[in-house]
Structure formats: structure tokens, C-alpha cells
A and B are shown apart, each in its own frame.
Chain A
Amino acid sequence: RKEVEQDPGPFNVPEGATVAFNCTYSNSASQSFFWYRQDCRKEPKLLMSVYSSGNEDGRFTAQLNRASQYISLLIRDSKLSDSATYLCVVNRMEYGNKLVFGAGTILRVKS
């Protein structure tokens, strides 16, 4: 079983739609959580950190459920420019603060 698992998608949604992705992680020692965005053939870039109380950044909302070991990302009012792969990333507090990446969820927003 992968340490970080995501539905690969693709999620095909119309502009203006609300879409949600989930990510599960297997290591209960995980302490920090992130969503990165990766455009086609480009490098990953940090979208947002995920805090225990949940956090919002504009149209994006991230939630963490430690008991069930999953992280979610909600995108409201989807834009064409949101089309990308969204990577769930988990950080473990051990030497190296190893970051473990999920394989990503593909989102395609269509007009």
C-alpha cells in the first residue's frame, strides 16, 4: 500500500463547479500536510498547507482528519486555470523531515 494515496482522476468539471479531492495517508506519525499544484510538464508549486482546524485561501479549502488519516481539498467556482494535477504531500517529523508525495489527482475544468 502506498503511504499517500490519491484518486488519479481525471475529474472533468464545468467552469463554476465545486470539486473535492481526498487523499489518505497511512503513517500516523505524519505531522504536516500540504497540497501542491503541478501544471502539465511544469514543476510542483505549493498551493496551501493544511492545518488541523482546516483553512481557506480564496476559493480553496483544505481539511485534515487525523482520526481517519485523510486530507481534503475543495475548490469552489472552478476556473479553466485550475486545470492541473493536485499533489497531496505529507511530512513526517523525523531526520530529514521526509516529504512523501501522492501520485496526484488530475483536474480538468472545461468551458
Chain B
Amino acid sequence: DADVTQTPRNRITKTGKRIMLECSQTKGHDRMYWYRQDPGLGLRLIYYSFDVKDINKGEISDGYSVSRQAQAKFSLSLESAIPNQTALYFCATSDFSVSGANVLTFGAGSRLTVL
């Protein structure tokens, strides 16, 4: 089994629908992240969490919300999906590093299409 598992892997939905992307990890890492990737733009951070009680906005959090249900689970919700949220979404985890050089382990990605 993968260290970081994302579900669903692919989803097509319609504008206005609520969508949840789920992420679970077996690495025992405290830190979890949600990124989206768009062609030509690289990965952009949506939300991140350093532990179960810690939730922080990233650079593009508008239109998204998250829930850290447990150390191993971090879900991303689109309350009312819109077409420009069509993208490839990645969940990632990292361990704490004293040097700050946290290395990310990514899930396989969730491809979301909003019609």
C-alpha cells in the first residue's frame, strides 16, 4: 500500500456541487498539506496542518476548506465547485525537521474536473 493514499483518483463533477477529496497516510508524519497543480503554474499550497488541532491557509485557500480528522487523515472540501477549480490535487506529508528542510511525500494525486 502507498504511504500516502488519495481518494478519489479521478472525479468529474458539475458546477455548484460539493466535493471532498480525502487523504490518509501511514508514515506517521504530523504535517500534512494540500496542493493543486495547474499547467505552467507549478504546485500551489492550499492548506496545511502541523497537527490535529492546527490548520493554516496557504496561498490559494479561497473556495476550499479542510478537516484534519486524525493524525493520519486530512480532507479537502470544495463547498461549491467551479470550473476554475479543475486541476490535479496532491496531498503531501512531511516530518518535522530541526533544520527546517522538510521533505514532502506526495500522494498519487486526485484529478478533478468541474464542468
Task: Report A's interface with B, CB cutoff 8 A.
Answer: 4, 8, 31-32, 34, 41-46, 49, 87, 91, 93, 96-99, 101-104
User: Is B48 part of the binding interface, using a Cβ–Cβ cutoff of 8 Å?
Assistant: yes
Q: How far is the CA of A99 from the CA of B42 in the complex (A)?
A: 12
Residues of B30-51 contacting chain A, CB below 8 A: 35, 40-45, 48, 50
Binds A, one of B11-19, B68-76, B105-113: B105-113
Given A93-B100, A96-B56, do A45 and B106 touch, yes or no (CB 8 Å)?
yes
Contact, CB under 8 Å: B48 / A96 = yes
User: Is B99 part of the binding interface, using a Cβ–Cβ cutoff of 8 Å?
Assistant: yes
Which chain B residue has the least Cβ–Cβ distance from A31?
B100
Interface size class of B (residues with CB under 8 A): 20 to 34
Given A43-B108, A99-B104, do A32 and B42 touch, yes or no (CB 8 Å)?
no
The smallest C-beta distance from A61 to any residue of chain B, in angstroms, reads 19
A-B contact pairs, 12 of them (CB 8 A): A43-B107, A44-B43, A44-B104, A87-B43, A93-B100, A96-B50, A97-B100, A97-B102, A98-B45, A98-B58, A99-B104, A103-B42
Contact, CB under 8 Å: A101 / B43 = yes
User: Pick the contact of A43 from B40, B101, B103, B106 — CB < 8 Å?
Assistant: B106
**Chain A-chain B contacts (Cβ-Cβ < 8 Å), number:** 51
Task: Report B's interface with A, CB cutoff 8 A.
Answer: 35, 40-45, 48, 50, 56, 58, 90, 97, 99-104, 106-109
Which chain A residue has the least Cβ–Cβ distance from B104?
A99
Chain A residue contacts of B106, Cβ below 8 A? 43-45
Chain A residue contacts of B108, Cβ below 8 A? 42-43
Given A32-B99, A32-B100, A49-B101, do A4 and B42 touch, yes or no (CB 8 Å)?
yes
Given A32-B99, A43-B90, do A87 and B104 touch, yes or no (CB 8 Å)?
no
Q: How far is the CA of A34 from the CA of B42 in the complex (A)?
A: 14
The smallest C-beta distance from A44 to any residue of chain B, in angstroms, reads 6
Contact, CB under 8 Å: B101 / A32 = yes
